[in-house]
Each structure stands twice: as C-alpha cells, then as structure tokens.
Chains A and B, each alone.
Chain A
C-alpha cells in the first residue's frame, strides 16, 4: 500500500540547533517527493521537491532534503533553525511523471524556542 511515515510527531528545539525530520515512504515505482510547510493558521506551502537527478535538493529558507532510494527515505534538514521555523511539516509522495494524487505523512510539529 502507498504510504508515508513521519516518525517525529513533535520536535522541540532551541534557535540555532540543527534539524532533521524523518520521512519514509512506501510506493511502487518511481516517485516524486515533497516537503510542505504549514505555518500556524496558514495554508500548505512547498518547501522543496525531488523529481529526479541530484538526490540532495535545496529548498527555500535554508532547508534541504536528501533522497536515499535504498532506504526509501527523504529526510528534511536545516543546519540552524530559527524561531520563525515553528510550523507543521508534511512529507508527501506521488508517482513520477504523472499527476497522481499526493499522499501525505501525518506531519511533524516543530517548535523552536528563542
């Protein structure tokens, strides 16, 4: 079955700490991978995406993610978080090369304290 797992449900960090949010997926075939962010009271915004090529992708606001095909993983990282990164982060997957629906993980709530 197609699914996305985010094992960290709630992460609490101090400013300047490093961040890594885990994402594992189960999907038959080649995939597109996404990380979306949802700031409090706002809509989903795309942070970064992987379609093909370099498995290390860089997104907005200093975020990056690495696709490791052998581990079916697409972990999100940021070397130094800021208070403004407090938000919900969702990993998502769909089938490459088509317009399959996105399957979302359960989300990780990140709280950053000054």
Chain B
C-alpha cells in the first residue's frame, strides 16, 4: 500500500540552527500538508500546499517557516532559525483530489536544545 515517508525520524539541533524536514507524499496525490504535535498536546495544522504554492497556513506558520516541493517528489518544511518551542513531532500528510482523506507519515521528531 502506498505510504507517506518522512526523514529524518529524529533530529536534534541547537537553537538558532536551520532545519529541513523532508517528506515524500503518495505519488498521485496533489495536496500536501504539514502538521505538528508538541509533546502531550493536540495535532496542529501548519500549512497546506497545492499547485506549487501555499493554499493555507496557520498563525503558527510564521516567517521562520517555509515549504517547497523542489523536485516533484519531495515536500520539505524548513525552519530558518529554530527556537526551543519548535520542539515537536512534525507530520507530513498528502491527499488526492477526490476523497478528502489525508494520509500521514510517521513523523519527524525535532528536538531543539
């Protein structure tokens, strides 16, 4: 069964460093999403992406965050200068144009020290 894959599974970084989280969505999906889950809290929407542009973003997704699909397969989330409060599990998801069902990856755990 096709699945969304994410790398790295866990990244530890120093505050102020740049981080790139990578996702390979399901191949025929056209809509892509990033969510995050701070430890013990709910899953929060960050951004959705369609047709090579952001379609919606939350207030969490400030200027420190960016997304791109550089090569038609990867979908990346970049945090320009990490803060302690960016420590969370980041989930990528993708969906097709029809069903509205999102398929989630296994997540990338980011720890900012």
Binding site for B on A (CB under 8 A): 32, 34, 36, 42-46, 49, 51, 90, 92, 94-107
Contact flag A51-B48 (CB < 8 Å), given A43-B107, A44-B43, A99-B31: no
| B25, CB-defined interface residue at 8 Å | no
| B45, CB-defined interface residue at 8 Å | yes
Residue pair A104, B31 in contact (C-beta under 8 Å): no
Once the chains are docked, how many angstroms separate the CA of A52 from the CA of B33? 24
| B56, CB-defined interface residue at 8 Å | yes
Once the chains are docked, how many angstroms separate the CA of A106 from the CA of B101? 19
Binding site for A on B (CB under 8 A): 31, 33, 35, 41-45, 48, 50, 56, 91, 93, 95-97, 99-107
Residue pair A97, B104 in contact (C-beta under 8 Å): no
Name the contact of A94 in the complex, choosing from B96, B100, B107 (C-beta under 8 A): B100
Once the chains are docked, how many angstroms separate the CA of A34 from the CA of B96? 16
Residue pair B45, A97 in contact (C-beta under 8 Å): no
Residue pair A99, B95 in contact (C-beta under 8 Å): yes
Once the chains are docked, how many angstroms separate the CA of A93 from the CA of B79? 27
Once the chains are docked, how many angstroms separate the CA of A97 from the CA of B42? 25
Name the contact of B105 in the complex, choosing from A43, A103, A107 (C-beta under 8 A): A43
Once the chains are docked, how many angstroms separate the CA of A46 from the CA of B99? 14
Once the chains are docked, how many angstroms separate the CA of A34 from the CA of B104? 13
Q: Determine how close the nearest CB of chain A comes to the CB of B55; give it in whole angstroms.
A: 9
Residue pair B106, A106 in contact (C-beta under 8 Å): no
Please give, as numbers and ranges, the residues of chain B lying within 8 Å of A97 by CB-CB distance. Answer: 100
Please give, as numbers and ranges, the residues of chain B lying within 8 Å of A49 by CB-CB distance. Answer: 101
Residue on B nearest A107 in the bound complex, by CB: B42
Residue pair A101, B33 in contact (C-beta under 8 Å): yes
Contact flag A43-B101 (CB < 8 Å), given A101-B33, A101-B56, A104-B42: no
Once the chains are docked, how many angstroms separate the CA of A73 from the CA of B35? 24
Once the chains are docked, how many angstroms separate the CA of A98 from the CA of B100? 5
